[in-house]
Amino acid sequence: MSPALTAAGVRDWLQRFATAVDTHASDLTDLDRPIGDSDHGVNLQRGMHAVLAALDAAEPATPGAALVKAGSTLVSTVGGASGPLLGTLLRRTGKALGDAESADGPAFAAALRAGLDAVVALGGAHVGDATLVDALAPAVEALEAGGSAQEAADAAARGAASTDELVARKGRASYLGERGIGQRDPGAASIALLIAALTEDAS
Q: What are phi and psi of 94, to 5 degrees?
A: -65, -40
Which residues in the chain land under pLDDT 50? 173-180, 201-203
Q: What are phi and psi of 103, to 5 degrees?
A: -135, 130
The predicted model scores a pTM of 0.88
pLDDT digits (tens, 9 = 90+) for 20-70: 999 999 888 888 665 555 677 889 999 999 999 999 999 999 999 999 999
Beta strands (DSSP E) in 119-176 are none
Cα distances (angstroms) measured from residue 44 to each of 8, 29, 40, 143, 172: 22, 10, 6, 25, 18
Spell out the domain ranges in the chain: 7-198
Please name which of 147, 104, 72 lies closest in space to residue 2, comparing C-alpha atoms. Answer: 104
User: What pLDDT, on a 0 to 100 scale, did the predictor assign at position 33?
Assistant: 63
What architecture (CATH level 2) is domain 7-198?
A: Alpha Horseshoe (1.25)
